[in-house]
Amino acid sequence: NNTDSGSRDFYLGIYGALGIGQAVAVLLSALTLYVGALNGARILHDLLVSNILRVPCTTFYDVTPVGRIPNRFSKDVDTLDNILPMTLRGWITCFFSVLGTLVVISYTTPIFVS
């Protein structure tokens, strides 16, 4: 009975450690993804501002409505801040799920590898 309790505690400890490890991995991946997205948005914004300021006034500003420029800025930065990180995170999650499934199948059924 004591051995069963010790074995149970051992496996619960492993299960808990795996859960904590997964939480840390998810946190680090989310932070890395969002910091990268923010840096990309900052770089894109800086490039847009420098290009807008270098455009000859007579050709661009006469033809382009005033509201179109801020709308373009906000749409591009919104794409980099919100849509791209969610899409990339979903793709990475799917990739690692498929990879993990292939590893488990290969381990349990070695004929699958050959």
**Closest to 82 measured CA to CA, from 50, 51, 47, 40:** 40
- Exposure string over 9-32, b if 16+ CB within 10 A, otherwise e: eeeeeeeeeeeeeeeeeeeeeeee
Check whether 2 has a pLDDT greater than 80: no
* pTM of the predicted structure, to 2 decimals: 0.60
9-60 per-position pLDDT tens digit:
888 999 999 999 999 998 998 888 888 888 888 888 888 889 888 878 777 7
Q: How far is CA 64 from CA 20, 57, 74, 95, 102, in A?
A: 53, 10, 16, 43, 53
Cα separation, 86 vs 2, in Å, equals: 48
- How far is residue 86 CA from its own chain's centroid? 6
59-94 pLDDT, tens digit each: 777 787 878 878 877 887 777 778 888 888 888 889
| Structure-token pair, residue 54 | 């270098």
